[in-house]
Chains A and B, each alone.
Chain A
Amino acid sequence: MSEILIISGKGGTGKTSLTAAFSHLARKHVLCDLDVDAPDLHLLLHPENTVVTEFYSGHEAIIDIEKCDNCGVCSDVCEFDAITHTNVLPTISPLKCEGCKVCVEFCPSDAINFPEKHCGQWYKSDTRFGPMLHAQLIPGEENSGRLVALLRQNAKAFAKEQALDLVLSDGPPGIGCPVISALTGTDLAVIVTEATPSGFHDMARVTDLCHFFKIPVGIIINKCDINQDQTNEINQYCRKNDIELIAELPHDVAVTNAMVKGMTITEFQENGFSDLVKKAWQKIEKMAGTS
């Protein structure tokens, strides 16, 4: 089985639009949206027959006002400045609480409860291109890395069960916790960048991250015609670092128009931009050794 992950470093370079198009072009596979924080793939895939599973992860500290004698120990031991000690009662900011349990442990009155935290949901659905696993973190919640890991684990198990040999995933932006969780052990990372200084800068950082975890990389330059000098620079970077340049895609409003219609670009139009996307996918399949 192979796992292909689409990432970008910088957000908004076109990861999701391209992942959706690749899902349209790929042979039968399991599709996965690993951007659990701000997932958008479902807006093009319209998942149905969804099985919902609640996601609990970590704990949160909650003061039991009956037992609290307002001694202030909890706010002293909290390294995250999550507890404000007032002359009435301490208050815990749920947004700042990391769920470390230190206040619970050291409270002399046993006045802090530590329930499990409901952080979101994950879904197993059907789409017109096959099965899809996706999730939604509750806005403002944490533990996105664990939710990403859980989705991947389930996607791989489901692919195995269905005798499918490809898991195609749309990744989160950035280089931190959820990206690392999406990336480790994957077979190929396709980095979608754009011909801008931010696109180039962020692509270089996420490429370094892939190299750090020894993940093979290919690069797609989106909006390549916005700045030819930047495109040339990215080309040079790929040659210098021995990275496969999968495709150069021009800026095309058809991608946005397809999105408004809830379609992939390859469904929306037959040729032009779509031809380049099809060629890119053929290259990706070859690189992942799954064609």
Chain B
Amino acid sequence: MKIVVASGKGGTGKTTVSASLVSVWKTPVIAVDLDVEEPNLHLFLKPEITDIKPASLEIPIIDESLCNYCRACTELCQFKAISVFEPVIMTFPEMCHGCGGCFRVCPKGAIQKGTRVLGDVKWGHAGEVGFLMGQLKVGEAMSPPLMREVKKQLDKMPECGSKDIIIDAPPGVSCPAVNAVMNTDIILLVTEPTPFGLYDLKLARDAFVQMGTPMGVIINRAGVGDRKVYEYCRETELPILAEIPFDRAIAETYSRGRIIAESNLEIKQIFLTLSEKIKKLSLCEKEPCNV
């Protein structure tokens, strides 16, 4: 089972929920951090990193001795990564999305494959828990291709088929978040009962609902704000799978880099119940069900 922990709004507690779920998960599990721009899961799981590999994108390198300035590449490129001002042809590698169109379309074979490093993929383990993360290079704009590479590496892990997978997703509802949520079995939306939390929860539901994956809500900092998130979940039949109470002690635990489910029995019980509800939800497929 592949579970993704997402949210529209940042800072609602995705990493807190991911780390705690991993810590109480009873069957073998791999924890994956797909928030490659700002990965944080390792700060809590504290894995031993055993392997690091750079991830890169194939970008064009022009052999000007072969180029006849026909402009086929620049006319195809949708990302303004190649410009021809005869007798000069220039590439802008940072704009390239790696679609490979220019290599294919060049009639002279004048474009070779170069690479642009996007960041690193890191493998490791925290005790019994498998660990995988991506980390975008500072200054690199494109996170989706690095996320795709992390997912590809996840599929290659020998234990991938037999273990459950818990993915910590990036915030938001645009391409990086959608990339993280795609092809999973359960989407957990972490929110808080505030106007910002509600607005962004609506965006997240609208963005992800088209995938047809079962979704559930986790309300963090329950007790602050107002009740509108609860009303929204009822109206849209989004099941509330867990509520984590607002408590300064929890915030302090988090601020020390500790996993909240390991700090207190009550919180641990919340996550144990949550993990059971997730397993039940995964059996409900696309029908709304009572969990």
CB-CB nearest in chain B for A172: B172
Interface residue from B78, B101, B207, B248 paired with A59 (Cβ < 8 Å): B78
CA distance A219 to B225 in the complex (A): 27
| Pair A79/B99 contact, Cβ less than 8 Å | yes
Task: List residues of chain B with CB within 8 A of the CB of A85.
Answer: none
CB-CB nearest in chain B for A228: B255
Give the interface segment out of B48-56, B192-200, B234-242. Answer: B192-200
Task: List residues of chain A with CB within 8 A of the CB of B170.
Answer: 174
CA distance A38 to B6 in the complex (A): 13
CA distance A101 to B170 in the complex (A): 27
CA distance A10 to B177 in the complex (A): 15
Given known contacts A9-B38, A173-B38, A230-B255, A101 and B172 CB-to-CB distance under 8 angstroms: no
Interface centre among A173, A194, A251 (most CB of B within 10 A): A173
| Pair A260/B173 contact, Cβ less than 8 Å | no
CB-CB nearest in chain A for B98: A79
Task: List residues of chain B with CB within 8 A of the CB of A166.
Answer: none
| Pair A100/B97 contact, Cβ less than 8 Å | yes
- Which residues, 133 to 184 on A, are CB-close (under 8 Å) to B? 137, 139-142, 144-145, 172-181
A232 contacts the other chain (CB 8 A)? no
Given known contacts A10-B10, A43-B196, A102-B104, A137 and B141 CB-to-CB distance under 8 angstroms: no
Given known contacts A140-B173, A195-B255, A176 and B196 CB-to-CB distance under 8 angstroms: no
A130 contacts the other chain (CB 8 A)? no
| Pair A38/B195 contact, Cβ less than 8 Å | no
Interface centre among A137, A176, A226, A259 (most CB of B within 10 A): A176
B112 contacts the other chain (CB 8 A)? no
A11 contacts the other chain (CB 8 A)? yes
CA distance A206 to B139 in the complex (A): 9
B263 contacts the other chain (CB 8 A)? no
CA distance A247 to B129 in the complex (A): 39
- Which residues, 177 to 213 on A, are CB-close (under 8 Å) to B? 177-181, 194-198, 201-202, 205-206, 208-209, 212-213
B24 contacts the other chain (CB 8 A)? no
- Which residues, 205 to 249 on B, are CB-close (under 8 Å) to A? 206-208, 210-211, 224-226, 248
CA distance A119 to B143 in the complex (A): 19
Give the interface segment out of A25-33, A47-55, A91-99, A272-280. Answer: A91-99
Task: List residues of chain A with CB within 8 A of the CB of B104.
Answer: 77, 102, 105-106
Given known contacts A99-B78, A174-B170, A202 and B141 CB-to-CB distance under 8 angstroms: no
Interface string of B116-157 (1 = CB under 8 A from A): 000000000000000000001011111100001000000000
| Pair B136/A175 contact, Cβ less than 8 Å | yes
CB-CB nearest in chain B for A39: B199
| Pair A95/B178 contact, Cβ less than 8 Å | yes
| Contacts across chains A and B counted by CB atoms under 8 Å | 186
| Pair A101/B78 contact, Cβ less than 8 Å | yes
Interface residue from B37, B97, B174 paired with A137 (Cβ < 8 Å): B174
Interface centre among B9, B174, B175, B203 (most CB of A within 10 A): B174
Interface string of A71-113 (1 = CB under 8 A from B): 0000001011000000000000001101111100110000000
Given known contacts A98-B97, A102-B104, A196 and B254 CB-to-CB distance under 8 angstroms: yes
CA distance A262 to B195 in the complex (A): 8
For A, the interface residue count at a CB cutoff of 8 angstroms equals: 65
CB-CB nearest in chain B for A16: B196
| Pair A100/B195 contact, Cβ less than 8 Å | no
Task: List residues of chain A with CB within 8 A of the CB of B289.
Answer: none
A271 contacts the other chain (CB 8 A)? no
Task: List residues of chain B with CB within 8 A of the CB of A43.
Answer: 195-196, 199
CB-CB nearest in chain A for B8: A38
A12 contacts the other chain (CB 8 A)? yes
B70 contacts the other chain (CB 8 A)? no
| Pair A177/B142 contact, Cβ less than 8 Å | yes
A227 contacts the other chain (CB 8 A)? yes
Task: List residues of chain A with CB within 8 A of the CB of B257.
Answer: 196-197
Interface residue from A106, A205, A213 paired with B38 (Cβ < 8 Å): A205
Task: List residues of chain B with CB within 8 A of the CB of A139.
Answer: 173-174, 203-204, 206-207
Task: List residues of chain B with CB within 8 A of the CB of A102.
Answer: 76, 99-101, 104
- Which residues, 240 to 279 on B, are CB-close (under 8 Å) to A? 248, 251-252, 254-257
Given known contacts A197-B43, A259-B225, A226 and B11 CB-to-CB distance under 8 angstroms: no
Task: List residues of chain B with CB within 8 A of the CB of A9.
Answer: 38
Given known contacts A43-B195, A140-B178, A226-B255, A201 and B40 CB-to-CB distance under 8 angstroms: yes
Interface, chain B (partner A; CB < 8 A): 8-12, 15, 37-38, 40, 43-44, 76, 78-79, 97-101, 104-105, 136, 138-143, 148, 170-178, 182, 194-196, 199-200, 203-204, 206-208, 210-211, 224-226, 248, 251-252, 254-257
Q: Which A-B residue pairs are the 6 nearest by beta carbons?
A: A11-B10, A12-B11, A139-B207, A100-B99, A227-B255, A174-B37
Chain A to chain B contacts (Cβ below 8 Å), 15 pairs: A10-B11, A11-B12, A38-B9, A101-B99, A105-B105, A140-B210, A174-B170, A197-B256, A197-B257, A212-B138, A226-B252, A226-B255, A256-B194, A256-B225, A259-B194
Interface, chain A (partner B; CB < 8 A): 8-13, 16, 37-38, 40, 43, 58-59, 77, 79-80, 95-96, 98-102, 105-106, 137, 139-142, 144-145, 172-181, 194-198, 201-202, 205-206, 208-209, 212-213, 223, 226-227, 230, 251, 253, 256, 259-260, 262
